[in-house]
Amino acid sequence: MEDSFRLLEDRIHRAAQRLKDLSAEAQALRTEVAQAKARAEKAERALAEGAGRPGGEAEDAKKAEALAAEVKTLRREREEIRDRIEKLVGLLGSL
């Protein structure tokens, strides 16, 4: 009987530790999403500002293309992070 309680206690301790670890990871991912979102917004603003200036069209086109690629990459990263957070939240909910 005591062994059963000890096993149950061990499982509870492991589950609690896993919950703490997952919570910390979820918070880190939320921070990462916020940073990626800020970078994407900054890139979009820079792209919009570059479109409004006359002259230097070839240079502006290269910058716009680079910024568009960066925005695309950042959005993809944000979606990947969002998916990971959703999986973690689902796992936390199942505990």
Per-residue pLDDT at 53 exceeds 70: no
Please, which pLDDT band fits residue 55 given cuts at 50, 70 and 90? low
Per-residue pLDDT at 15 exceeds 60: yes
Model pLDDT, residue 91: 74
Residue with tokens 């916020």: 34
Radius of gyration of the chain (CA): 22
**What is the count of structural domains for the chain?**
1
In sequence order, what DSSP letters do the residues of the chain get, joined into one string? -HHHHHHHHHHHHHHHHHHHHHHHHHHHHHHHHHHHHHHHHHHHHHHHHHHTS-S-HHHHHHHHHHHHHHHHHHHHHHHHHHHHHHHHHHHHHH-
Model pLDDT, residue 85: 82
What pTM did the predictor assign? 0.51
Range of the domain at 6: 2-94
